[in-house]
Amino acid sequence: MKVTCTGHAGLFLETDRGSILCDPWRSPAYFASWFVFPDNSNVDFGGLHPDFLYVSHLHRDHFDPEVLGSCVSKSTTVLLPDYPTGDLREALEALGFRSFVQTTSGVPLELDGLSIMIEAMISPADGPLGDSALCVDDGSVRFFNQNDARPRDFESIATFGPFDGHSLQFSGAIWWPLVYDLAPATKSALGARKRENGMARALRFLETVGARFAFPNSGPPAFLDSDLFAYNDFDNSPDNPFPDQAVFLRYLAEHGHDNGRLLIPGSTAEITASATGPSCTVTHELSETEVDAIFTHKAEYLESYAQRERPHIAAARASWPRYDGDLEEALAEWFAPLLQLADRIGPGIGGPVLLEIGDEKLVVDFGTGEVRRWAGEECRYRFSVARELVEALVAKHEIDWVNSLFLSLRFQAARRGAYNEYIYTFFKCLAPERLSYAEGWYAEQEEPDDLVRIGEYMVQRRCPHLKADLARFGEVHDGVLQCGMHGWRFDLRTGLCLTSEGHPIVAFPVEAAESPAAGPP
């Protein structure tokens, strides 16, 4: 199997039984804030000619309408993840694709001798209501393309394996804590935790899958706009949540793993099976000195990259649509019907969220179900956004502000108290169909499932955040359970979530379970 890196999460998998183009991305994403790192302008997408196309999900660093529309033949067969909504298929059909293979999550599928399986994740927090990972078996080599998906069950994945190659995300793809109004020392500590948790989670995934070779991908982005340039991790800063590929490969080596392999845009990995085990040969288009310079002289590399992309950033800014109407009226008309549908999300937020849009201050009130002008009341959550960005969102009727505004990092935020998942779920579900799906998903999760023993406690098996298997990902330290999937923490004495309000777990000491007169408190 030949694996070509096309940049970020992008891979081109070539086998004797067919080829698959995965997540091709080149165009600036999220209000021109994200660029591919390293630069992938050397990749000729039009010359790849895949048999199959796999787009893992609709995030703009995976779904690039410009590349898909102009560089990929519309006769290419699309491998569709098993999502409950048709958003991804509709988006691809709008670009002209007409041949689709609908997969079933966790079920292998034979395609003229090529075996594939797509594992779909469908919680409201998974991408834009969905993320997925791809398993491929060409008869001699098995490859697991996890991209930035976070599977919670590995039974079907393990059954498809064992794997020879595994590509996955290791770096940040989030705005926390960079955009938050926090004291510098607090922000530094939180950034360090985010950085460490991201790499530790990737390491745990690699150890769980157990592939012979590991290929870090899906990040970090390059921030080339002067407004965002400081967010890049130039010198391996311990508190920057965007470590690069070289940093993660060193992290793997420090933890006893020598199976990491670096791929940058245009690089290829030839994975070959043999009686003594698989081998991997990596070839770069650049010399070793040039590849090394990207990471050892990163500031200079990014400054040159930013200079080249300055016209594209200016053009993107000029293309943002304007809205000349009354923003309060437009948002009230748009959001009010959604607030009436938010039976669980609304109470989960419970009060007003302040939107500072330029000089205008509006409130989305989840208590009263209305959008109105701010009356000076205290708001636990605040977002400050340039007016031109909100005008563009309104003009385009952008129903997923996470997949446009928040991932852009072009805003500032503040909150009093813990992270609230429901806020971001609401802002990625600004359409009745999406919001209804999210509400239904939350309703189905209200009853805890079976119990598992973790240390000296019996605990519900599934994390209330994204249903990760706590038997696999849970660790206990000093009476606190931490889910290794996303770092959510729970006080085992009380069951209370220490990371986000409103997500308690069932937990009680083992001796209570073993006593015939006692039961769960």
What is the pTM for the complete model shown? 0.88
- What 3-state DSSP class applies to 44? coil
In angstroms, rounded to a whole number, what is the distance separating the alpha carbons of residues 252 and 17? 33
CA 482, chain centre distance (Å): 20
Q: Which residues face 459 on adjacent strands?
A: 452, 507
Token readout for 249 is: 């490969």
- Is 327-442 in CATH node 3.30.1050? yes
Q: Do domains 327-442 and 447-514 have the same CATH topology?
A: no
Query: Crossing angle for the helix pair 327-341 and 387-396, nearest 10 degrees?
Result: 60
For residue 259, give the nearest of 219, 293, 216 by alpha carbon. Answer: 216
All structural domains of the chain with their residue ranges: 2-312, 327-442, 447-514
Instruction: Answer for the pair 2, 41: CB distance below 8 angstroms, yes or no.
Output: no
Q: Alpha-carbon distance 58 to 39, whole Å? A: 21
DSSP strand pairing (165-169 vs 2-7): unpaired
Q: Which CATH architecture has domain 447-514?
A: 3-layer Sandwich (2.102)
Pairing relation of β-strands 77-80 and 52-54?
parallel
Distances (CA, A) of 54 to 37, 133, 164, 413, 431: 21, 10, 20, 35, 26
Contact between residue 132 and residue 81 where contact means Cβ atoms under 8 Å apart? yes
Query: What is the enclosing helix (H) or strand (E) of 491?
Result: strand 489-491
| Domain 2-312 CATH class label | alpha beta
Which two three-digit tokens encode residue 107? 């079920």
Handedness of CA 362, 366, 367, 370 (dihedral sign): positive
Residues sharing a CB contact under 8 Å with residue 418, sequence separation 6 or more, in sequence order: 497, 498, 499, 500, 501
pLDDT by position in tens, the chain (length 521): 999 999 999 999 999 999 999 999 999 999 999 999 999 999 999 999 999 999 999 999 999 999 999 999 999 999 999 998 899 999 999 999 999 999 999 999 999 999 999 999 998 888 888 999 999 999 999 999 999 999 988 999 999 999 999 999 999 999 999 999 999 999 999 999 999 999 999 999 999 999 999 999 998 999 999 999 999 999 999 999 999 999 999 999 999 999 999 999 999 999 999 888 899 999 999 999 999 999 999 999 999 999 999 999 999 999 999 999 999 999 999 999 999 999 999 999 999 999 999 999 999 999 999 999 999 999 999 999 999 999 999 999 999 999 999 999 999 999 998 889 999 999 999 999 899 889 888 877 775 567 899 999 999 987 887 667 788 789 999 999 999 877 899 999 999 999 987 789 999 998 765 555 444 44
Residue 171 phi, psi (nearest 5): -115, 170
